Amino acid sequence: MKKESSVCNCVNIRRAAQSVTEIYDGHLAPSGLKIGQFSMLKHIQAMAPVNVSRLAEKMRLDRTTLVRGLKTLEKDGLILDTAETGTRSRSLTLTQKGEDVLNTAVKLWEQAQKHIENKLGYGTLKDLTALLLKIESLTP
């Protein structure tokens, strides 16, 4: 089936994002992670220990959306709240299981990265990245 663009820029961008997400999720499937979970784990690993507000700010995600994703990672034993009992702020770190899953997932993520680069070409991908930054800067 031939794909056609929409007259709506938003629809076109969302469709492209959905296609890219499917590629990454497909590559990451053996690790049990989806690209959003992978990103959360990478950010927590880099920022640990990190509270939810700082993580949401860094990832540029709505706090409610982030908390929903974190619950799954915590339930699966991939992250741990190391804050002292009785404190209101969470302090997130990866568990050993989280580190192990992430180490496996990084290799799969690299394959997805190469897949996208091979399909689009390095120059096109570089131009696309610059354009995406411009699009992202449309909002304050």
Domains of the chain: 32-128 (1.10.10.10)
107 and 115 in contact (C-beta within 8 Å)? no
Mean pLDDT to the nearest integer, 25-36: 98
92 and 83 in contact (C-beta within 8 Å)? no
How far, in Å, CA of 107 to CA of 113, rounded?
10
Beta-strand relationship, 79-81 and 92-94: antiparallel
Rg (the chain; Cα; Å)? 17
Q: What pLDDT is recorded for position 57?
A: 95
How far, in Å, CA of 112 to CA of 49, rounded?
28
pTM reported for the whole predicted model: 0.92
pLDDT band, very low/low/confident/very high, at 2 (cuts 50, 70, 90): confident
Using alpha carbons, select from 50, 54, 47, 51 the residue that is nearest to residue 89.
51
Whether residue 89 has pLDDT greater than 90: no
